Amino acid sequence: MDPLQHLQTEARNPASERLDELTSIELVDLMNREDGTVAAAVASQRVQLAQAIDAISERFARGGRLIYMGAGTSGRLGVLDAAECPPTFQSDPEQVVGLIAGGQGAMFRAVEGAEDSPRLGEIDLEAIHLTANDVVCGIASSGRTPYVLGGVKFARKLGAFTLGVVCTSDSQLRGVVDLCIAPVVGPEVLTGSTRLKAGTATKLVLNTLTTGAMVRLGKSFGNLMVDLKATNTKLVARANRIVRSCTDLDADAASQLLRRCGGEVKTAIVAHLSVLDPDMARAKLLTHGGRIKPTLASLGHGRTTAPTRELVVRRDLVLGIDGGGTTTVCLLAEKVSGHVLGKGIGGPSNIQAVGVEAGMRALDDGIDRAFQAAGLSRVKVGSICLGLAGVDRQEGLDVVHGWAERSQVAETVSVSNDATLLLAAGTPDGWGLAVIAGTGSISFVQTPDGNLGRCGGWGFLLGDEGSAYQLALSGLRAACRSFDGIIPPTKLVNAFVKRMNLSEPPDLIPAVYRGPWDRSAIAGMAPLVLELAEGGDEISEEIVKQQARELALTAAGAVKANGLPIQGLPVALAGGVLTNSQLYRRHFLDGLRTAGIEPGGVQLVTEPAVGAVVLARRVANVSPQVRTSPKS
């Protein structure tokens, strides 16, 4: 039996089944989409990463080391991160150590069989005189590399703290380390090639571990890299720039100061700001553990934080953002005309799904890319409207407004409900019914006087009626019932078997329960059900009708519960199921009429961020410093 066949890192990716048939641009787009999921996977491990940073920094403070060990790509990434610490943080080259199965030569050429020996892992740790004061981080995408398992088991026996970095949810490594970090990125575009998404996730994790631990040790001043070692022209220039930004000296004076301080950036900053000679500044830093802020505070100096950047204000510009659990779309537009100047795409920004840090980073990434697309440097704009999933509660709103204030993104900040964006983009006056049917489903309404209501949105286990997931799941269930002879024959059986690259219908069981077909992947097969319905498959057509009716009932419930007019009601439709299928849309609108709701104008909204631009332009004409929040 193949020992790797059940590993998530070895599963086939349904999105890349036709990889060898793609054009170059299609291949690039596919890989970029897949890579876009990595940040969210790493963000899911935020608690474990924080715990690891605490453990590493505590042991660093006691003179301990961080030792990475891995094989192949995993080993190379560990060696790379270790090698980058001394020039970045002026750390001792022995403070972060990278071990790779097969030794130094394995960095450049595979050493066959080295990773299969647990004893080699022990031998390598013995050679560097491992102690209980060290941290050993085993890196193995599959979580089963013998070299790594042998090493961490040996480390635990000696009392060292052990970490594991894996890319599977259930691994052997998890069971033998003190703390496991497991960003699960799913199947690779090229099956089994873990140098791709798994490698990227591992690099992000290692970057976070060493950067976080070094910052905790006082090797930054604000976000300035003040403990770097200027060993080349680029780093000499960076050191000069950092000193200038903290002291207001010109380039020549900063160079002279650095020379007097032996090239030590932290010493130069403290010496200048506190008017001390370099030796005294160095001694004061040593007293405070090398941290600039407490050193300056002890000397009575007013500046105890790094200087912040002041942004130019462009009141003629606005930003509109639509952020969800998959992507964040940011539009930069002119306030007066609404003309979109640039569009930027960031990762998922639903803070309930990916965490605050990852969510806010996605917003910044989207904004940066929108300005880049417009050919402009990022500035503070007049107004921003953010329609974000996951911020309906006050604590979520506080997070977003806090981020907006720190990042100086706009003079006026408005946070709006998903519904408000859709209605602004898809109805004449911003009120009416908004229905979303994508992977999930929900219905929103807004009354003419601005009150919001909703129906649905209970998630894929409790609701999501009429969504892509429920369409595909109903199709899969019908295929199974048809194969058992309980319902009439349907083309769904062979269609799903072919689409999922299976041999026969019973293979659906392991594919769905143990394979790569998670909620998102299943939802991606909704077009198959819709296509067969359009082609006359009776079972498929009945599924489409039933799901459309259920969605219509949800929408009608939102309308009636909130007292909106049932005749001539403005309707905005969003989500791939509703916007891409005319058949489904027709059944949905028929269902609305059956429920007693007569739609007026019906508008398809394929870019909800346009609604955010509309709202940002409105708010920009009201007053600065406005903070709005969705009503519920």
Domain ranges for the chain: 8-216, 233-298, 313-416, 434-596
Q: What pLDDT does residue 8 have?
A: 60
Residue 24 CB contacts under 8 Å (≥ 6 apart), including other chains: none
H or E stretch including 218?
none
Rounded Cα–Cα distance for residues 138 and 238 (Å): 33
Whether 313-416 shares its CATH topology with 434-596 is answered yes
Rounded Cα–Cα distance for residues 351 and 494 (Å): 40
For the segment(s) 434-596, the CATH number from 3.40.30.10, 3.40.50.1220, 3.30.420.40, 1.10.3720.10 is: 3.30.420.40
Rg (CA), the chain: 28
606-617: pLDDT as tens digits: 888 898 898 888
- Average pLDDT score over residue span 348-362: 76
Residue 450 CB contacts under 8 Å (≥ 6 apart), including other chains: 431, 631
Q: Look at residue 313 and give its three-state secondary structure.
A: strand
CATH topology of domain 313-416: Nucleotidyltransferase; domain 5 (3.30.420)
CATH code of domain 233-298: 1.10.8.1080
Residue 194 CB contacts under 8 Å (≥ 6 apart), including other chains: 9, 73, 74, 141, 142, 167, 188
The number of angstroms, rounded, from the C-alpha of 494 to the middle of its chain's C-alpha atoms is 36
Residue 27 CB contacts under 8 Å (≥ 6 apart), including other chains: 19
The catalytically annotated residue of 26, 58, 112, 115 is: 115
- For residue 224, count other CB atoms closer than 10 A to its CB: 20
Work out the pLDDT band at 1, boundaries 50, 70, 90: very low
What's the angle, vertex CA 79, arms to CA 76 and CA 80, rounded to 5? Answer: 85
Q: What pLDDT does residue 537 have?
A: 92
71-80: pLDDT as tens digits: 988 999 999 9
Cβ pair 335, 324 in contact under 8 A: no
Better pLDDT: 533 or 359: 533
Rounded Cα–Cα distance for residues 202 and 550 (Å): 43
363-375: pLDDT as tens digits: 888 898 999 899 9
Q: What pLDDT does residue 627 have?
A: 36
Please confirm, yes or no, whether 115 is among the known catalytic residues. yes
Better pLDDT: 49 or 290: 49
- Average pLDDT score over residue span 484-492: 92
The number of angstroms, rounded, from the C-alpha of 42 to the middle of its chain's C-alpha atoms is 7
Rounded Cα–Cα distance for residues 572 and 425 (Å): 8
Considering the entire predicted model, what is its pTM? 0.49
For residue 306, pLDDT over 60 is answered with no
Q: What pLDDT does residue 224 have?
A: 76
Rounded Cα–Cα distance for residues 591 and 580 (Å): 18
- Average pLDDT score over residue span 220-230: 72
Q: What pLDDT does residue 9 have?
A: 57
Work out the pLDDT band at 134, boundaries 50, 70, 90: very high
The catalytically annotated residue of 58, 84, 542, 607 is: 84
Residue by residue, DSSP assigns 122-187 as: HHHHHHTT--TT-EEEEE-TTS--HHHHHHHHHHHHHT-EEEEE-SSSS-TGGGGSSEEE-----S
Q: What pLDDT does residue 632 have?
A: 29
Give me the long-range contacts of 395-401 (CB less than 8 A, separation at least 24). 396/351, 396/352, 397/629, 399/351, 399/356, 399/359, 399/360, 400/360, 401/627
For residue 624, pLDDT over 60 is answered with no
311-327: pLDDT as tens digits: 578 889 999 998 876 77
Rounded Cα–Cα distance for residues 376 and 370 (Å): 9
For residue 302, pLDDT over 60 is answered with no
Rounded Cα–Cα distance for residues 167 and 201 (Å): 8
For residue 628, pLDDT over 60 is answered with no
For the segment(s) 8-216, the CATH number from 3.40.50.1820, 3.90.1510.10, 3.40.640.10, 3.40.50.10490 is: 3.40.50.10490
Q: How far from each other are the two terminal CA atoms of the chain, in whole angstroms?
A: 55
Cβ pair 517, 509 in contact under 8 A: no
Residue 627 CB contacts under 8 Å (≥ 6 apart), including other chains: 401, 413, 414, 415
Please confirm, yes or no, whether 58 is among the known catalytic residues. no
Cβ pair 404, 595 in contact under 8 A: no
